[in-house]
Structure 1
Amino acid sequence: MGCSFSGLNALYDTVGGGGGDVWVNDYRFRVLRRLGDAGPACSSVLLVKEVVAAAASSDGTAGAEPGAAGIARKKGIHPSHISADGTYALKKVLVQSDQHLELVRQEIRVSSQFSHPNLLPLLEHAIVAVKGVQDGSQNHEAYLLFPVHLDGTLQDVTKTMLEKKEFFPTITVLQIFRQLCSGLKHMHSFDPPYAHNGVKPDNVLITQRKEQSHLAILMDFESAGPARKTIRSQAEALQLQEWASEHCSAHYRPPELWECPSYADIDERTDIWSVGCTLYSMM
C-alpha cells in the first residue's frame, strides 16, 4: 500500500487540542483531545471520532451509527479493529525534511504489511502537502489512523502498579511475553524478515479485559525495517551504530548495536534481546 495525497487539507491547520475536523482521504474525523506525543517532537497522537454522513433510514428519519459506514466499509480491515463508538487514534507527523518524509513513507510501507492480533494495524493514512506559513515553502504532514487503546502502554501500567507497590502475577507476565513473541514471530517470518528495532515497554499497548488475559499489542514501526544487514567494514559498523543510537532505546539495545564488529551479520535476533529486556522490566 503506497502513500496517498489528499486535497482535503484546508481544515488540517485547525487540528490542535480538540474541536477541529480532519480528513484522512475520504474519511472525516473530529478531534476530541490530544493523547500525547509519539516518537520525535514533531509527532503527536490525537483521539478522534469518525464523522459519518447521516443516511436516511427505512422510516424516513436521518441518522447513522458510528462504524455503520465510513472506515468500516474499507476492504481489508478486520471487523475487530472497527470501533463501536467511532473513536480512533490519529498520529499526526509534521515532516521536517525530505529524509524525514522518506522515513514516514517507510513506516507506512512496513506497517501496512502486517496482519496479526499482537501488532497494531494501520487502518488508513495520508501524506498531505502544505505551504509554510511564513516563507510559503511546501512542507508535508502525515496522518496515520490506528485503533485506539486507552488503557495505556506497558510502561504506563507498570509505573502505576509500582506506585501502589503492586506487581504483575507471574502468569500475566508470561501471557504478555508470549503475545509479544507471537507478534515478533510474524514480523520475522517474512522473506526477507523484518525487525521491529524498538521493542520496549513504551511501545507495548496493554488492554485489560474482564475475565480474560491482558491483550498486548506491539506498536510504533518508525524504526522497523529489513532485519538482516551485512557488515564488512569499520565504516559500515560505525554507520550502523550511529543509526542505532538514534532509533533504538539504550536500555533495550542489543550488544551488537552498541559495538558492532567490522565483520558481522546482523539479523532479527536483535529483537529477541529487546523483548528479553522488556520481560525483565515486568518482573
Structure 2
Amino acid sequence: MACCLPVQTLHINSRTFKVTKLLGEGGFSVVYLVQDVATTRLYACKKIYCPDGTDSVKEALKEAETYRMFTHPNIIRILDVCVVQGKDGSKTVYIFLPYYRHGTLQDSLPPTESGSGETGPTERSILRMFRGVAYAVRALHDHELPEVPARRADSLDEGYGMELEERDVDGTGAERHVAYAHRDIKPGNVLIADDGMTPILMDFGSMQRARIHIRTRQQGLFEQDKAAEQCSMAYRAPELFDIKTGTRLDERVDIWSLGCLLYAQAYGESPFDVQLNQQGGSVAMAVQNGRWSFPPGHTKYSKGFQELIRFMLVVEPRERPSIHQVIDRLDALLLQTST
C-alpha cells in the first residue's frame, strides 16, 4: 500500500478531520494522525480497506468489537468506528483510537550496540514498563464473558467470529471464563501514554480465543497460515510455526512473545532478530529450536532479570509459565531492584 497521504480531509459521521501524518501501515490497513477540525483534538485513525465485501468488513468490525470487550488502563480503548462505501462499491472501515505523542515502545528501544555497555534504560524502568504490559495480557487471559441468560455456546461465539474453546455452557453463567490471546505482542504494538511511563497494548487484529484443539491437518494448516500472516516472526511462539494434528494451542503463545519483548526492551531487538543479524540462518528454525543468547560481555542487567527472560522463552508450551507466574516472579524481582 502506498505511503503517501490520502486526501487531506476526511468527512466521517458528520465530522471533518484533517489528515496530518502517516503513523504506520501493514496489509490492508494504514494508521493516520488526524485532527478534528471543529475541536482540534488529535486521534489515531486506523483505515482498513475491505476489497472483498461483506467478509472483510466483518473481519474489520470484529477488531473494533474486540477493543470494546476490555476496559483496562493498559489496553487501548476505541473511540468510534464507521464503515464508508466508495463509488466502486468497495468499503472502508475507520477505527478511531486515542493518539499518544510518545509513540510506541519500538521508538524508544535502546540501540543494539549499547547492549554490552552501561547506557540505555535502567533495569527497574524496564521492569515497570513491562509490568504494565503483563497486566494487560493478564486481562486478556482472564477475560470473563458478560452474563447473558439462556444463550447457547454457538450464539456466544457469533458476536466475535472467534474460535470457541471447549467448555460446558449450561446457561447459568458458571463457565464464563474465556482466555484470549493477543498473538502479536511486540514493541511496535505497545504505545507509551502521555505520562511517559504507562504502556498501552494495542492492535487487536490478531487476537482470538486462545484455546484451540487442532483435530485435522487442514485445521492446523489454516491456523498456521493465519499465524504467518498476523504474527511477527521474531516474536511468534514456536508452536505457531508448524501446527500438528492433535495438539492444543492456548494463551501461552503470548508468554513467549513477552519474553521476546522484555529482551528487546533491554537489548534493542528480539533475541531472534539478533540470531538472524549476527549469525544468519532461519529465524523460524532458531525459534523452534530455542536457539538464542544474551549479548556477550553484558553486565548492566542482573542475573534475575535474565532468568525472567529464560523463564518465558521455553520452547515446549506445556512447560511455559502462566501470566500469573510471570507477574509473581516479576514483582519479586522489582522488590529486589533498587529505585
Shorter chain as denominator, the TM-score bin is 0.7 to 0.9
Mark the CA change 1:164 to 1:277 in structure 2 (over 3 Å): closer, same or farther. Answer: closer
Higher relative strand content: 1
SS of 2:111's equivalent in the other structure is helix
Q: Contact 1:49–1:87 at 8 Å: present in 2 too?
A: yes
Q: In structure 2, what is the equivalent of residue 87 of structure 1?
A: 42
Counterpart amino acid of residue 30 in structure 1 = F
Instruction: Name the residue aligned to 2:23.
Output: 36
Aligned mates of 1:234, 1:152 — CA distance in 2: 41
Mapping of residues 89-238 of structure 1, within 5 Å: 89-98=44-53, 99-132=55-88, 138-158=89-109, 161-162=110-111, 165=114, 166-190=119-143, 191-207=177-193, 209=195, 214-238=197-221
Give the Cα–Cα distance (whole angstroms) in 2 for the partners of residues 89 and 29 of structure 1. 14
CA distance in 2, matches of 1:111, 1:208: 20
Structure 1 match to 2:233: 250
Amino acid at match of 1:162: P
C-alpha separation between the residues in 2 aligned to 1:127 and 1:107?
13
State the partner residue of 2:35. 49
Aligned match of 1:282 in 265, 268, 278?
Answer: 265
In structure 2, distance between residues paired with 1:199 and 1:187: 12
Identity, % of aligned pairs? 32
- The separation in 1 between residues aligned to 2:205 and 2:51, in whole angstroms, is 15
TM-score, normalization: structure 1?
0.73
Deviations 1:171-212 (A, max 9, x none): 111011110111111111123221111101111112363xxx
Shift of 1:147: 0.6
- In the alignment, is the contact (CA less than 8 A) between 2:5 and 2:22 conserved in 1? no
The letter for the 2-side match of 1:20 is T
Q: Displacement, 1:157? A: 1.2
Matching residue's letter, 2:185:
V
Deviation at 1:271, TM superposition (A): 0.9
For 1:276, what is the secondary structure of its paired residue? helix
RMSD: 2.1
Aligned to 1:270, which of 222, 233, 253?
Answer: 253
Q: Give, in whole Å, the separation in 2 of the partners of 1:227 and 1:263.
A: 16
Residues 23 and 33 of structure 2 are in contact (CA less than 8 Å); yes or no, is this contact kept in structure 1? no
Q: Which runs of 5+ in 1 are unaligned?
A: 1-14, 53-65, 67-84, 133-137
The 2-side partners of 1:235 and 1:94 are apart by 28
* Aligned partner of residue 238 in structure 1, secondary structure: helix
TM-score, normalised by the number of residues in structure 2: 0.62
* Separation in structure 1 between the aligned mates of residue 223 and residue 10 of structure 2, nearest angstrom: 41
Letter in 1 for 2:42: T
Asked whether the equivalents of residues 10 and 19 of structure 2 are also in contact (C-alpha less than 8 Å), the reply is no
TM-aligned CA deviation for residue 238 of structure 1: 2.0
Normalized per residue, the structure richer in helix is: 2
Query: Is this contact kept in 2: 1:149–1:207, CA < 8 A?
Result: yes
After TM superposition, give the deviation of residue 242 of structure 1 in Å.
1.4
Judge conservation of contact 1:154–1:206 (CA < 8 Å) in 2: yes
Q: Distance in 2 between matches of 1:185 and 1:86?
A: 31
1:9 paired residue number: none
C-alpha deviations, 1:210-229, integer Å up to 9, x for none?
xxx61111111111111111
Aligned residues: 225
Aligned-pair distance for 1:35?
2.7
Indicate if the aligned counterparts of 2:5 and 2:19 stay in contact, CA closer than 8 A: no
Change (3 A) 1:253 1:182: same
Residues 18 and 281 of structure 1: is their aligned pair in 2 closer, same or farther, counting only changes over 3 Å?
A: same
Amino acid at match of 2:254: D
5+ residue gaps, structure 2, are 144-176, 267-339
With 168-177 and 92-101 compared, the bigger mean Cα shift is at 92-101
Per the TM alignment, residue 164 of structure 1 is displaced from its structure 2 partner at its CA by 9.1
Report the CA distance between 1:263 and its aligned residue.
0.8
